[in-house]
Amino acid sequence: MNAPQTALHGWAAGEAGRPANPDWTIPQRWESYTPKEHATWATLYRRQMALLPGRACEAFIDGMRRLPIEADRIPNFEQLSEVLMRSTGWQVVAVPGLVPDEVFFDHLAHRRFPAGQFIRRADQLDYLQEPDVFHDVFGHVPMLMHPVMADFIQAYGVGGLRAQRLGALEMLARVYWYTVEFGLVREQGALRIFGAGIVSSAAESVFCLASSSPHRIGFDLPRVMRTRYRIDDFQQTYFVLDRLDDLLRLAEIDFAPLYQQVAALPALAPDAVLPDDAIITRGDSHHHRARPPQPA
Ligand SMILES: [Fe+2]
């Protein structure tokens, strides 16, 4: 998308973004956020909280209610961690931005969620490729209050370290993308959002449920492991869980034999539809047809 060129953070900034700690953690320095930065949080928070009732799943709304996440200020990670630790044993640690895969997986495997310390600029409210404190805290942390998601994300960290050794990271990353980041779930006869990439985006919170453009397909693990995804635009396909508890089953599966099976099959385009798909709504793709293709 047409994001302005900006200074990158963390791993995306190369050697200049690497902090002194080998686990890439830094102090949050909550006191050093400026009034302008808190105001950016407030704008994003209010916009999402007006949109999400009736769209986000119950677990997200419940997690948000129980955490010290407020409208007018960037949350303090220590206060978040106190509540999380008592509920599901997680904590939030500050990092400068993206971190290397093995660092990310190791944090998750130890129930530490690495959250970007910085907040986007006021002219980047609608789009930012790097995860900032709004995406990471508003989007991800409420779901960490849910015991199933808490266990699933830890299992993903353990699985990620293993997938790296097996050369299967791409397949595992697709599972994370289509669940933790862009997942939908059935709830009380409707579709609801649980993915952090959606709940932290005003436009995609509406698009993913209301637009006739994307496909919505029942979640199937080998299918998801084959499906490429877009990082530059709304998703062309959303995969739908029947219930959040299905993530528990996923966390228990031995992925190693699946990697071998899936690696033997061709990868699928983000908008592919297969004869065996459990199609909930077949999209007309009008949104992506009207836009230039993803840059290589
Ligand atoms: Fe994320």
Report pLDDT digits (tens) over 38-50: 999 999 999 999 9
**Cα–Cα distances in angstroms (integers) from residue 88 to residues 16, 76, 91, 153, in the given order:** 35, 18, 9, 12
pLDDT reported for residue 176: 95
Q: Which domain holds residue 233?
A: 24-288
Annotated binding site for Fe cation: 135, 140, 181
Distance 275 CA to ligand 1 centre (A): 31
Tens digits of residue pLDDT in 258-291: 999 999 999 999 999 999 999 999 999 999 988 8
Cα of 29 vs centre of ligand 1, distance in Å, is: 21
Q: Residue 5 — pLDDT band, cuts 50, 70, 90?
A: very low
296 pLDDT band, cuts 50/70/90, is very low
pLDDT for residue 2: 36
**pLDDT for residue 293:** 62
CA 126–ligand 1 middle distance (angstroms):
15
Asked whether residue 8 is assigned to any structural domain, the reply reads no
**Whether residue 9 has pLDDT greater than 90:** no
Mean of the per-residue pLDDT values of the chain:
93
Give the whole-angstrom CA distance, residue 147 versus residue 223.
Answer: 26
Confidence of residue 294 (pLDDT cuts 50, 70, 90): low
Per-residue confidence (pLDDT) for residue 148, from 0 to 100: 96
Residue 241 has pLDDT above 90, yes or no: yes
- Judge whether 228 lies within some domain: yes
Indicate whether 65 belongs to any domain.
Answer: yes
In the predicted model, is pLDDT for residue 135 greater than 80?
yes
Q: In this structure, what CATH number is given to the domain that contains residue 169?
A: 1.10.800.10
Distance from the alpha carbon of residue 13 to the mean position of ligand 1, in angstroms: 18
- Verify whether residue 200 is a known catalytic residue: yes
Supply the pTM of this predicted model: 0.93
Active-site choice (140, 146, 215, 288): 140
| Residue type at 216 in one-letter notation | R
Catalytic residue (one of 37, 130, 181, 204):
181
Active-site annotation holder among 107, 135, 146, 288: 135
Residue 189 lies in a domain: yes
**CA of residue 269 to ligand 1 center, whole Å:** 22
Ion ligand 1: residues, CB < 5 A: 196
Instruction: Give me the half-sphere count of Cα atoms (radius 13 Å) on the Cβ side of residue 19.
Output: 20
pLDDT for 49-105, tens place per residue? 999 999 999 999 999 999 999 999 999 999 999 999 999 999 999 999 989 999 999
Residue ranges at the known binding site: 135, 140, 181
Return d(Cα 188, Cα 204) in angstroms, integer.
21
- Residues recorded for the chain: 296
Question: Strand (E) positions, the chain?
Answer: 91-95, 112-116, 184-187, 190-193, 215-218, 237-241, 279-281
Q: How far is the CA of 253 from the centre of ligand 1 (A)?
A: 23
11 found inside a domain = no
**Residue 279, beta-bridge partner list:** 217
Q: Does the pLDDT at position 137 exceed 60? A: yes
Q: Which amino acid is at 259?
A: Y
Pairing of strands 91-95, 112-116: parallel
User: Is residue 2 one of the residues assigned to a domain?
Assistant: no
Q: Above 60 in pLDDT, residue 295?
A: no
Mean local confidence (pLDDT), 216-240:
96
Distance between CA atoms of 66 and 205, rounded to whole angstroms?
Answer: 22
Answer yes or no: is pLDDT of 223 > 50. Answer: yes
- What is the structure's pLDDT at 292? 67
What sign for the dihedral angle of Cα 136, 139, 140, 144?
positive
The pLDDT, as a whole number, for residue 128 is 80
Domain-located, residue 69: yes
Q: What's the total number of domains in the chain?
A: 1
Output the CA–CA distances (angstroms, integers) from residue 91 to 18, 95, 254, in the order listed: 22, 13, 27
CB 75 within 8 A of CB 157: no
135 classed as catalytic: yes
Q: Is residue 14 part of a domain?
A: no
- The region of weakest confidence among 6-15, 209-218, 272-281 is 6-15
